[in-house]
Copies of this chain bind each other. A is one copy, B any other.
Amino acid sequence: MGTVIFDISMSLDGFIAASGMTPDVGMGEGGEALHDWAFAGDERDREMLEQAGARLGAVIAGRRTYDNSIKWWDADGPTGPARIPLFVVSHGMPDHVPAGGVYTFVPDTRSALEAARATAGDKDVGIMGGADIARQYLHDGLVDEISIHLVPVLFGSGTPLFGDSWIEGHVRLEAPEVIATDAATHLRYRVVK
C-alpha cells in the first residue's frame, strides 16, 4: 500500500492562502507567491515535483478547493496532463463537472480515502487540502507523511493551515528530509504513529 501524504505550500507564518480570496483569486491577493517555487526554474524544485508526481496514484481534495479551482483544472484536474484521479469530498454533486474529467465525488473523508487507496494501489495518495480536510485526516491518524513547501514570506492573514486548537494532544514527527532552494524550503516529515 502506498503512502498517504499531505502536501501543501505554506507561508512561514502558517497560511496556505492569502487574504482576499475570491473565485477569481483562488489563492487570495498575492497568494500565488506560495506556488512560485514550482515555476522558479530551479532544477531541484522541478525534480522534487516530478518525483512526487511520479509516485502519486490518486489525489483527495475538499469541495471548496474543487469549486475554487475547477475553472483552471478543467477535465484534467490538478495534475494536468498526468490526469491522476481526484476524489472530492462533497455532500452533493456540483452543478458544473467537466465532461471526461478525472473527478469522483464522495460524501466523507473516510470513503474518499478508501476509494483513493483502491485506485492508487501501490502508489501514493495525495491530500491537497483544503485545510479542514487535511486537519480531519491528521486528527484521524490517517496521514503517513506531511510535505510542507515553506515559502519565505509572511502573509499576516489569510487561510491558516492549522490555527489554534486544531487538534488535541501532540503529534510527533520524524526529522524531515530537507531540500532547500531559493524559492522554498521543502520539508518532508513522517508522522510517528
Q: Does A146 contact B (CB under 8 A)?
A: yes
B12 engages A148 (CB within 8 Å): yes
Of A156, A168, A169, A181, chain B has the most CB atoms within 10 Å of the CB of A156
Which of A55-63, A75-83, A90-98, A172-180 contacts its partner? A172-180
Segment of A110-118, A119-127, A183-191 in the binding face: A183-191
Stretch of A46-54, A65-73, A100-108, A159-167 at the chain-chain interface: A159-167
Is the interface on chain A under 10, 10 to 19, 20 to 34, or 35 or more residues?
A: 35 or more
Nearest-neighbour CB distance to chain B for A101, whole angstroms, equals 34
Per DSSP, chain A at the interface is loop
Counting CB contacts under 8 A, is A138 at the interface?
yes
A-B contact pairs, 22 of them (CB 8 A): A12-B148, A12-B173, A12-B187, A13-B162, A14-B160, A14-B162, A18-B170, A19-B165, A30-B170, A33-B170, A150-B150, A152-B172, A152-B175, A153-B170, A153-B172, A154-B170, A154-B171, A156-B170, A175-B183, A178-B178, A178-B185, A185-B187
